[in-house]
Amino acid sequence: MFRNSGWLSIILIVVALGCGNNSRVQEELDAIGHIGLWTLPTTEVIFYSEAVQRDMAINVMLPRGYEESNARYPVLYFCHGLTSNYQEFKYIGVPEYLNNYDMIVVTVDVGNSWYVNWAESADGKPYNFADHITQDIIGYVDSHFRTVADRRGRAINGISMGGFGPCRWDCLILNYFARLPVQAALWVMPPGSVPASRKVNLPG
């Protein structure tokens, strides 16, 4: 009888651990930014960017059924804000919301560059981050995934600095993207506050 009680104790512990884990999962699903759907996989990709002459990272999220189909998908590019990075979108529900849409999501990383081509840089390497997005990232994604590989199949969305950059590209954005929704993208600086040596160039 004592031996049976030992087994019963082990079973109760396992059940309790399982319940605790389910509780933690439910808490995550109920958190702000989450909608209760299972998170689709996020794949980190490191590749060499000619525009900035260094290895750069992106996250790629593929829609449900991508592996089983031969279809081509539109791509939504997400641009992070100042002091953030390409990882932030993983934690605010984007891989869950993607369950509702047949598209590829790519989150980009540009540091605190404002998504523009700088005239100079502190480390001597080019800071052509507008070209990095419009040429290197788009080129890599179109060549490695089944995308709708023209402007009709691309949209770009940014938060704060991530909205400022694409807006700064002016009408040239229409060469690359069909849609440009942004959030809180306004940035105002007084005339003459940016030294001439740090003024930016448009992509292309």
pLDDT, position 2:
39
Question: Per-residue pLDDT for 34 more than 90?
Answer: no
Q: Tens digit of pLDDT for each residue in 98-123?
A: 999 999 999 999 999 999 899 888 88
Q: What would the 3-class secondary structure string for the chain be?
A: CHHHHHHHHHHHHHHHHHHHHHHHHHHHHHCCCCCCCCCCCEEEEEEEECCCCEEEEEEEECCCCCCCCCCCECEEEEECCCCCCCCHHHHHCHHHHHHHCCCEEEEECCCCCCCCEECCCCCCCCCEHHHHHHHHHHHHHHHHCCECCCHHHEEEEEECHHHHHHHHCHHHHHHCCCECCEECCCCCCCCCCCCHHHCEECCC
199 pLDDT exceeds 80?
no
pLDDT category at 29 given cuts 50, 70, 90 is: low
Mean pLDDT of the chain: 80
Residue 195 scores a pLDDT above 60: no
pLDDT for the residue 9: 42
Mean pLDDT of 21-32: 57
What pLDDT was estimated at residue 17? Answer: 40
Position 54 pLDDT exceeds 80: yes
pTM as predicted: 0.76
Name which of 6-15, 55-64, 136-145, 162-171 the model is least confident about. Answer: 6-15
For residue range 141-190, what is the model confidence (pLDDT) as tens digits? 999 999 999 999 999 998 888 888 888 776 667 789 988 766 655 454 44
